[in-house]
Chain A
Amino acid sequence: MFNFFKKSNKSKDIAKDRLKLIIVHDRVSTEPDLLESLKDEIIEVISRRLTINKSDIDIKITNKVVDDTNKEMPVLEANIPILNIKGK
């Protein structure tokens, strides 16, 4: 409710927020290896404890409104179905 008062209406702040978002997207899309290597590293870590299927993994960058800031931010989304928990 009070976010209305908090939110800046200066045009330069709008520019700054927009730039931060687009630059993350630019960097991800112009560095094709980034998501792939991220995926490989995530798989490596998770595979120590969980059984997962590499081809089931969906990883991407999206824009989302983050709760406490009420601002859109780039978010790394990873959907990793768990097949089993590895025994000790």
Chain B
Amino acid sequence: MGEVIVITSGKGGVGKTTTSANLGTGLAMMGYKVVLIDADIGLRNLDLLMGLENRIVYDIVDVVDGFCRVKQALIKDKRYDTLYLLPAAQTKDKDAVTAEQMKKLCEELKEEFDYIVVDSPAGIEQGFKNAIAGADRAIIVTTPEVSAVRDADRIIGLLEANELKNPKLILNRIRQDMVNRGDMLNLDDVQEILAIDILGIVPDDENIVISTNKGEPAVIEGTSLAGKAYRNIANRITGKEVPLLELTVTETFGDKLRKFFGLKKK
């Protein structure tokens, strides 16, 4: 019996879809049977990040409306045999799939898959409520910015109101150089404000842009720091204990000089 994990955030543009693509792929890399559900109906994007946009025949709305069977709509990943995508509809409204239908769909997929990763739309309206309807647990993605953290707090409240207790947090797009200068909220700050468990941290990494351009999740690539961060998080989802990623900044000669003379701001 599989587990349904919803990836959500409140605020848009903090990396929900990127996180969904990377965690789903990361879990499949470990050999689990995974299906990614794009619940952002009307704004389909998970297919693009996975590089599967040209293979779509049916979508989630076709499935719940009974135009096709689930198996017909699932798109097999290019790289991993155990990974599938159920794409969103691009032409329908956010409420084209009801909460009840989502629940039923998740139950059906649980029979077949180990992990069902649901990419939720931004916002707190019906689309979000439908996306979380079938979930067993929730992951909240936020970035170290005031608006994203505030919205994450709203989402925590809404998840709890919907019986999704103990959501876990991913702090995305950390710029360690700014954290060191005191110009960016760090993990402790965000944890103090939101008071929830941390599932992982992901650095702001230009490799994410590159991998998005190519339609290949960064998690596949051995060298990128963000990819490593996502592999760690995927491991933690399965229950393994992995220490948090060390984010360090290479010091420039100027930094060293300032530090030597005690001028570096603490």
Interface residues of A (CB under 8 A from B): 8, 10-13, 15-16, 18-20, 22-23, 26-27, 30-31
Q: Which of A8, A13, A15, A23 contacts B153 (CB 8 A)?
A: A23
Count the A-B residue pairs with Cβ separation under 8 angstroms: how many? 41
**Contact of B157 with A12 in the complex, beta carbons under 8 Å:** no
- B182 adjacent to chain A (CB < 8 Å): yes
**Contact of A12 with B150 in the complex, beta carbons under 8 Å:** no
Question: Which residues does chain A contribute within 8 Å of B193, judged by CB atoms?
Answer: 16, 19-20, 23
- B104 adjacent to chain A (CB < 8 Å): no
**Contact of B146 with A26 in the complex, beta carbons under 8 Å:** no
Q: Which of B146, B153, B181, B183 contacts A27 (CB 8 A)?
A: B153
A21 to chain B: closest CB distance in Å? 11
Known contacts A27-B157, A30-B157, A31-B157; is A22 also within 8 Å of B186 by CB? no
How far apart are the CA atoms of A19 and B184 in the complex, in Å? 13
* Minimal Cβ-Cβ distance residue in B for A14: B146
Known contacts A10-B183, A11-B182, A11-B183; is A16 also within 8 Å of B154 by CB? no
Question: Which residues does chain A contribute within 8 Å of B46, judged by CB atoms?
Answer: none
Interface size on B, residues (CB 8 A): 18
**Other A-B pairs beyond A10-B181, A10-B182, A15-B146, 19, CB < 8 Å:** A8-B182, A12-B183, A12-B186, A12-B189, A15-B185, A15-B189, A16-B193, A18-B146, A19-B146, A19-B149, A19-B150, A19-B193, A20-B193, A22-B150, A26-B150, A26-B154, A27-B153, A30-B154, A31-B157
**Contact of B154 with A13 in the complex, beta carbons under 8 Å:** no
Question: Which residues does chain A contribute within 8 Å of B146, judged by CB atoms?
Answer: 15, 18-19
Question: Which residues does chain B contribute within 8 Å of A19, judged by CB atoms?
Answer: 146, 149-150, 193
Interface residues of B (CB under 8 A from A): 144-146, 149-150, 153-154, 157, 179, 181-186, 189, 192-193
User: Chain A contact residues: over half helix, strand or loop, or mixed?
Assistant: helix
Question: Which residues does chain A contribute within 8 Å of B183, judged by CB atoms?
Answer: 10-12
B3 to chain A: closest CB distance in Å? 29
**Contact of B150 with A16 in the complex, beta carbons under 8 Å:** no
How far apart are the CA atoms of A12 and B186 in the complex, in Å? 8
* Minimal Cβ-Cβ distance residue in A for B182: A10
B19 to chain A: closest CB distance in Å? 22
Q: Which of B153, B154, B182 contacts A12 (CB 8 A)?
A: B182
Q: Which of A12, A22, A23, A31 contacts B185 (CB 8 A)?
A: A12
> Which of A8, A10, A20, A31 counts the most chain B CB atoms within 10 A?
A10
Question: Which residues does chain B contribute within 8 Å of A30, judged by CB atoms?
Answer: 154, 157
Question: Which residues does chain B contribute within 8 Å of A22, judged by CB atoms?
Answer: 150
